[in-house]
Amino acid sequence: MSSERKYTTIPVLVKVKQDLDKIRGGKEWSKFLVELVEENRKLRRRLAARSLQKRFNTVESYISDSYRTLRKNLKLKSSEKEAL
């Protein structure tokens, strides 16, 4: 197995390269792009976790409301039986 590093070029618009160049500062391109990809992955995971949490909170709220309604209805039925 060869220990030499192989490089490639990626054609991008000049404006895109200029923007990336400003962001990367003095970092080497490979390191910068690896960090950029990793940061993107972390952000996507965080957003997915928030989305799941939001759905869970919605379901949890629905269950809680249903439970309260059930308790209220049972209490009303119990009161009706006592009135008879």
C-alpha separations of 49 from 9, 42, 56, 79, 82 in Å: 35, 11, 10, 45, 49
Of the candidate ranges 28-37, 44-53, 54-63, the one whose mean pLDDT is the lowest: 54-63
Spans of all domains in the chain? 26-83
- Chain segment 13-26, per-residue pLDDT in tens: 999 999 999 999 99
Q: How many CB atoms lie within 10 A of CB 20?
A: 14
Residue 77 has pLDDT above 60, yes or no: yes
Residue 7 has pLDDT above 70, yes or no: yes
Split at pLDDT 50, 70, 90, the class of 5 is confident
